[in-house]
Structure 1
Amino acid sequence: MTKKAIMMGVIISLILAMPAYGFTAKKMQAAIVLDNAKIEACAYIFGGDIYLPLRAVGEALGYEIQWSEKDKTVSVSKTGKNIMIDMNNDKITVDDHVCYMSGDYSGKGFNGGTTIGDRVYMRTDFFSDNFGLKVQWDGLNGIIQLESVIENAISIKTVKEASETDKIKVTLQYPQVDGLADKTVQDSINSIFEKSATDARNEGLKNAEEMEKVVASGYTGTLNKCETYFDYRLKYNQNGLLSVVFMDYQYAGGAHGLMVQSSHTFDLKTGEEYRLKDLVKSDADYVSLINNTVRNEINNRVKEGMLSENAPFKTIKDEQDFYLSNNAVVVYFQQYEYWPYAAGIQEFPVEFSALKEMLKHDFGFLNDNVKEQTRPEDIENGMSGEGKLFMAINKAGIQLLQKISVEEEGQNTILSPVSVSTMLAVLANGAAGKTRAEISAIINPEQLPAKEMNEKYRDTINNLIRSGYEENGKKTTLVELANSLWIQENLRVKDGFLKDAKTYYEADAYNVNFADDSAVSAMNRWIEDKTHNKIQNYLSEVSPQTAMVAFSSLYFNGKWQSPFDKSKTQKEDFQLSDGSTVKVDMMNAERRIGYYEDDQIQAGSFNYYGCSMLVILPKSSTGAYLPGVGYAEVNKALSNLENMKVKIKFPKFNFAQKNDLVSHLKSMGLDSAFDSGSADFTGIADRSAGFNLYISDISQKCTISVDEEGTEAAALTSVVLAGSSMPRENTPPEFYLNKPFIFVIRDDRTGLILFIGKVKNPLDHGRP
């Protein structure tokens, strides 16, 4: 029988015990609107960038879209324009102009694209540059506004030159304008464009001459051929203005090449080339405004892990590099100008609306119909109610993984942040005073009102995750959440607690007698049903003093979008932390994945439908790297993934682990809930003479199995509340996972971490 790829999710058991003496007795999606008409499709926000569905937007604009499964290419055609997108080679050909989406030739990585499921999504600059659309994000209402602009009545032709010798390869692409009424102006602009390309060619030839001198001097090492690649992007073409960006890549035989970006903004009527200062009034303090915008954005990028360090930025230059986009003035800084090479060319948009009062009258049209925009990364990283909760859940999960890993350094580790946080959310509705505040500090640090917090859990976790994912009308990935309460028949539980558990967490309540074996059988049947029989015989007995047991199960069933070829799996070495090796079943592939690398880690993303597994391979060791990992480090890897071909080695593994979470949660500030005297769960049941509820134990058991088809995992978290007497007051890169690594399984639409863990030894199956 073919093994299904199933991640078995989380069972959380909450046990409330009473004393022996008796007492009476819960993708980010956004609307897309094109020229005031809604497009029935969803967008994605990833790494601070908005991605739109190519077919839905293109067809709404009258383009014919054709996909070739064999070549992995998309043809986009309409009278007067033909676009070919080659997803395998990250290449876009617009008429006869060839552009690259990633790699050395791409500069910032213009016009990025990706596939999600069986659909192609392109970053918004593709639609701005090639479809002539103004793209605005209305964060307040969750709407992506697309507006067709009236472009200048000109044509742009691409001049291409290519040559190659044994010393240098030269590729030039530059624009030539046609259709201007004043041919003198047209010739002047075209000569500037041509000169920029010629200067790039001459610089490359000079590099080749210098390399030849090095060889002639007796150098015997290996020198690669020099290369010059010169290209352009059309960024603004309306209202009589033309703004063009040039990218000049030079490789002179060193460790890597260098990209220099330049730009020109022309008045097509007069031929005047504008400087940044020419756009604003003479008395406008535009420098301070732009400086503040740049500083704030630098801080944001460092905080979000998109930049590794703050730069000693003071002020923009008098002749600051800039270009116009459809929505903003964009200032930029070259490689090495403030940051290391790996940071690339950093661009900072300054919205036209921010410059509204500073623009000269002649440029007032730049601000027409432009709404102030909300940055998509603000929404993704916690500015919305859902984001605040998800960030808290993810941070708590990463923190727990760190603490468990320190305690059991040599062991494989897995836990589910969603499992712990869901049960803590249910408990929060029954907690009061200091106990409630401590729980909220972990799962609700923004202190959302109780009703709003519960609604966010219901709407985003219950509704979104329970719905799973559909492709072509069929569910391809199942993510199911279920909750239940099992109550000792003579325990008086408050109606408000039961109502919240049912309303917000769909938790059914069952009255049972824990002294009767039938209660254990009934609970085990519920667990087996909700976990699709992945967790069986969980309970063997329940103490007669138990007051309540609560379960929360999280079930995940998904297959890799691109399964591994079983015939390529073979026995290979896996290096353990102590330097020794073991033979493991290593899956092998060479294909495109989301990939990122810096001086500390390699990271790769492996997709299910709607979810993904991010794998982080530290260049040192998990023991050295993990203590310093926080939300920003994980987000940095996610935000900087680039779609590229990678050689992959991925070990099959399966293991089980049970972790006691009491000490770890105490160290995170959840303290009073474990104290028999100060715990306050009076929202569940009233204190009575000599009786109070407190948490005596929280633990979680997880299992996971990864193979060629997908992932199978299960998690079980148990929370025990005991009763007590009241006290008295007082090249393709190689991504070889052949040593310990970290994995993060997440919901792609929300960024919510479902499971997180580390693999120290694929052969260590852990503790059952």
Structure 2
Amino acid sequence: MQKHTKANRTSRLLRREITPIVLAAGLIVGGSTIPVTPTEAATPTAHQLQAYDTVRLQVNGQTLDMQGLLSAGRTMIPLRALSEALDFSISYDSEEQIYTIGSGVNQLQLTNGSYGPSMTVNNIYLGDYDPINVESRLYVSYRVLSDFLGLHGAWDNSTKTLNIVQDEQANAITLATETMNESVNGSEISIRYPQVEGDSMPTQRINETIQAQAEKYLQGVTETAEERPDDVRNYEFMHDFIVTYNQNGVLNVLTQDYNYVGGAHGIQSRTSLVFDLESGKQLSLQDVVGANTDYLQALEDVARTGLTEMDMYLGEFAGFDEDPQFYLKRDGIVMYFAPYEYTAYAAGFPEFYVPFGDLGIQMPFED
């Protein structure tokens, strides 16, 4: 087993069809210039740029010469601001044609496929975080930076200003990434999972839970790969993770599996692991929201409304089971369902976000 390595990107589903990103000029990253190659998509015109409202950007109170944009209610940050003002590392894989933003356990991968620019976190696609390309300039959603890269913003609506600062509420822990990459009977297996550094009993308890899940996955898919008939194309297996919450003594690791064993597409599944760092205990949704059943009912109502309004809803949602699927974000809870559970496969993982404030929780997990 080895420390963090470059993520395996064999999954045809998790990485969209890729074409090079269009930029006005080569982006300087790590001392080299990222190539600029035209795409099939038409470049937006100046008139289209003028259709966006601009956002004044600040970092730690200092105003930038770069402006953000408002797009469909989202604040979009220019890619150049990430590398210059926010000091994020940005690398470019010329073979895969993927931009990687950030160097911690959570890394953004930015591609430009046949449906336009898209964003994943550790090769996992999570909802409405897609970037936009305006006049050959790439803009990244502030929300993805806040949710996964440890930034926090204060919005001043009167001046349309977003002041971005580093999140000071993160837990004082260090996370490392472990990998297990195997080739079995011609099929590729790629596994990444986090470990909390330290040797305390709670830390060991957390690490053992996360590692056991990864090893169980490896054992299962290895057996499946060994049974692949010779006349069937090679299988593909991927297990990856995202840290969705790391504050107030709580750590949330969301793992996602992708298994391709033939057919039109692979099958995806998720597991959300929420831990109390002080005890190492794994937390349920009821542990998070408390014993008040009104919280659970409010979450269920949001999920029911969201599902029934989806075009791909298949029906039959009667309420949560005994162990609802959820993960935490900085300021709220996301309820989610598996593909095919209540919607067609093309809907992916239906997600429904509820701010903590809507549940009467100002800041969860505080004493």
Structure 1 length as normaliser, TM-score?
Answer: 0.36
Whole-Å separation in 1 of the counterparts to 2:347 and 2:89: 37
Aligned-pair distance for 1:242?
0.7
Aligned-pair distance for 1:276?
0.6
SS at match of 2:304: helix
Match 1:259 to one of 268, 274, 298: 268
Whole-Å separation in 2 of the counterparts to 1:211 and 1:205: 10
For 1:45, the aligned partner's letter is: S
Q: 1:38/1:112 Cα in 2 relative to 1: closer, same or farther (>3 Å)?
A: same
Match 1:133 to one of 140, 151, 154: 151
Q: State whether residues 312 and 344 of structure 2, in contact with CA within 8 Å, keep that contact through their aligned partners in structure 1.
A: no
SS at match of 1:176: strand
SS at match of 1:211: coil
Whole-Å separation in 2 of the counterparts to 1:234 and 1:171: 18
1:117 maps to 135
Match 2:172 to one of 140, 145, 153: 153
Q: Which runs of 5+ in 1 are unaligned?
A: 10-26, 91-99, 216-221, 366-768
Q: State whether residues 121 and 242 of structure 2, in contact with CA within 8 Å, keep that contact through their aligned partners in structure 1.
A: no
For 1:53, the aligned partner's letter is: P
Whole-Å separation in 2 of the counterparts to 1:110 and 1:362: 25
Query: Which structure 2 residues correspond to residues 262-341 of structure 1 after superposition, within 5 A?
Result: 262-298=271-307, 302=310, 307-309=311-313, 311-341=315-345
Q: State whether residues 322 and 332 of structure 1, in contact with CA within 8 Å, keep that contact through their aligned partners in structure 2.
A: yes
SS at match of 1:198: helix
For 1:190, the aligned partner's letter is: N
Query: Which structure 2 residues correspond to residues 482-493 of structure 1 after superposition, within 5 A?
Result: none
Q: 1:109/1:101 Cα in 2 relative to 1: closer, same or farther (>3 Å)?
A: farther
Whole-Å separation in 2 of the counterparts to 1:311 and 1:136: 40
1:451 maps to none
Query: Mean alpha-carbon deviation: is it higher for 281-290 or for 320-329?
Result: 281-290
SS at match of 2:206: helix
Aligned-pair distance for 1:231?
0.3
For 1:160, the aligned partner's letter is: T
2:347 maps to 343
Q: State whether residues 260 and 267 of structure 2, in contact with CA within 8 Å, keep that contact through their aligned partners in structure 1.
A: yes
2:9 maps to none
Aligned-pair distance for 1:288?
1.6
1:670-699 deviations in Å (ceiling 9; x for gaps): xxxxxxxxxxxxxxxxxxxxxxxxxxxxxx
Q: State whether residues 129 and 234 of structure 1, in contact with CA within 8 Å, keep that contact through their aligned partners in structure 2.
A: no
SS at match of 1:108: coil
Whole-Å separation in 2 of the counterparts to 1:244 and 1:140: 37
For 1:165, the aligned partner's letter is: V
Q: 1:104/1:279 Cα in 2 relative to 1: closer, same or farther (>3 Å)?
A: closer
2:365 maps to 363
SS at match of 1:41: strand
2:201 maps to 184
Q: State whether residues 31 and 143 of structure 1, in contact with CA within 8 Å, keep that contact through their aligned partners in structure 2.
A: yes
Aligned-pair distance for 1:117?
2.6
How many residues in Structure 1 have an aligned counterpart in Structure 2?
A: 314
1:207 maps to 224
Q: State whether residues 333 and 355 of structure 2, in contact with CA within 8 Å, keep that contact through their aligned partners in structure 1.
A: yes
For 2:176, the aligned partner's letter is: K
1:250 maps to 259
Q: 1:61/1:230 Cα in 2 relative to 1: closer, same or farther (>3 Å)?
A: same
2:68 maps to 42
Whole-Å separation in 1 of the counterparts to 2:254 and 2:208: 16
For 1:328, the aligned partner's letter is: G
Q: State whether residues 93 and 99 of structure 2, in contact with CA within 8 Å, keep that contact through their aligned partners in structure 1.
A: yes
Higher RCO (CA-CA < 8 Å; seq separation 6+): 1
Match 1:60 to one of 55, 77, 85: 85
For 1:264, the aligned partner's letter is: L
Aligned-pair distance for 1:234?
0.9
Whole-Å separation in 1 of the counterparts to 2:292 and 2:140: 41
Query: Which structure 2 residues correspond to residues 14-33 of structure 1 after superposition, within 5 A?
Result: 27-32=52-57
Q: 1:344/1:72 Cα in 2 relative to 1: closer, same or farther (>3 Å)?
A: closer
1:477-511 deviations in Å (ceiling 9; x for gaps): xxxxxxxxxxxxxxxxxxxxxxxxxxxxxxxxxxx
1:333-360 deviations in Å (ceiling 9; x for gaps): 0111100111101111110111125x8x
Whole-Å separation in 2 of the counterparts to 1:155 and 1:165: 32
1:670 maps to none
Whole-Å separation in 2 of the counterparts to 1:115 and 1:158: 32
2:40 maps to none
SS at match of 2:68: coil
Q: 1:141/1:184 Cα in 2 relative to 1: closer, same or farther (>3 Å)?
A: same
Q: Which runs of 5+ in 2 are unaligned?
A: 1-42
Q: State whether residues 105 and 229 of structure 1, in contact with CA within 8 Å, keep that contact through their aligned partners in structure 2.
A: no
Q: State whether residues 54 and 121 of structure 1, in contact with CA within 8 Å, keep that contact through their aligned partners in structure 2.
A: yes
Q: State whether residues 106 and 149 of structure 2, in contact with CA within 8 Å, keep that contact through their aligned partners in structure 1.
A: no
Q: State whether residues 335 and 353 of structure 2, in contact with CA within 8 Å, keep that contact through their aligned partners in structure 1.
A: yes
SS at match of 1:256: coil
1:85-136 deviations in Å (ceiling 9; x for gaps): 564689xxxxxxxxx9469953436864453333222234531355302357
Aligned-pair distance for 1:316?
2.2
Q: 1:140/1:288 Cα in 2 relative to 1: closer, same or farther (>3 Å)?
A: farther
Q: State whether residues 147 and 330 of structure 2, in contact with CA within 8 Å, keep that contact through their aligned partners in structure 1.
A: no
1:241 maps to 250
Q: Please, what is the CA RMSD of the aligned residues?
A: 4.0
Q: State whether residues 204 and 227 of structure 1, in contact with CA within 8 Å, keep that contact through their aligned partners in structure 2.
A: no
Q: State whether residues 287 and 315 of structure 1, in contact with CA within 8 Å, keep that contact through their aligned partners in structure 2.
A: no
**Do structure 1's residue 162 and structure 2's residue 188 form an aligned pair?**
no
Asked which structure has the greater CA Rg, the reply is 1
Match 1:197 to one of 202, 211, 214: 214
2:16 maps to none
1:668 maps to none
Query: Which structure 2 residues correspond to residues 370-449 of structure 1 after superposition, within 5 A?
Result: none
Q: State whether residues 291 and 314 of structure 1, in contact with CA within 8 Å, keep that contact through their aligned partners in structure 2.
A: no
Whole-Å separation in 2 of the counterparts to 1:112 and 1:51: 10
Q: 1:282/1:126 Cα in 2 relative to 1: closer, same or farther (>3 Å)?
A: closer
Whole-Å separation in 1 of the counterparts to 2:106 and 2:281: 32
1:225-278 deviations in Å (ceiling 9; x for gaps): 122100001111122111111011111222211110111111111111111101
Query: Which structure 2 residues correspond to residues 624-639 of structure 1 after superposition, within 5 A?
Result: none
Structure 2 length as normaliser, TM-score?
Answer: 0.71
Q: State whether residues 314 and 344 of structure 2, in contact with CA within 8 Å, keep that contact through their aligned partners in structure 1.
A: no
SS at match of 1:191: helix
Same amino acid, percent of matched pairs: 27
Q: 1:88/1:297 Cα in 2 relative to 1: closer, same or farther (>3 Å)?
A: closer
